[in-house]
Amino acid sequence: MFWKLHGIESHKNKTNMALKTFNIDHDVHKEFADHCKAHGISMSKRIENFIKLELQNLKQEQKPAAPSLPEHPPTTLSLPQPDDHPLGKYC
């Protein structure tokens, strides 16, 4: 079955809509169309929002991962012992 999204130019915000044709399983289309009709949902808008979400997911997957900092063992501070220098008893 061919399913058409009818494009309408919006006079409010001047965005261009596109007329597209997709091959969709008849039973899937009918079930979704019935659901949308029963709930007053725009099928075109639902498909558009789905595509936008998919694009966001694709862009996130393509972002390079932040470089991780190399792990260093904790440094230990060795303090001089009092006997190490002549004034050690005052330190």
Residue 38 forms part of a structural domain: yes
pLDDT (tens digit per residue) in 9-66: 444 455 788 888 989 999 999 999 999 999 999 999 999 999 999 999 999 888 777 7
Count of the separate structural domains present in the chain: 1
Residue 17 forms part of a structural domain: yes
Residue 23 forms part of a structural domain: yes
Region label for 64, one of left (φ > 0), alpha (ψ between -120 and 50) or beta (otherwise): beta
Q: How far apart are CA 74 and CA 54, in angstroms?
A: 43
Prediction pTM value: 0.50
Q: Which domain holds residue 33?
A: 2-62
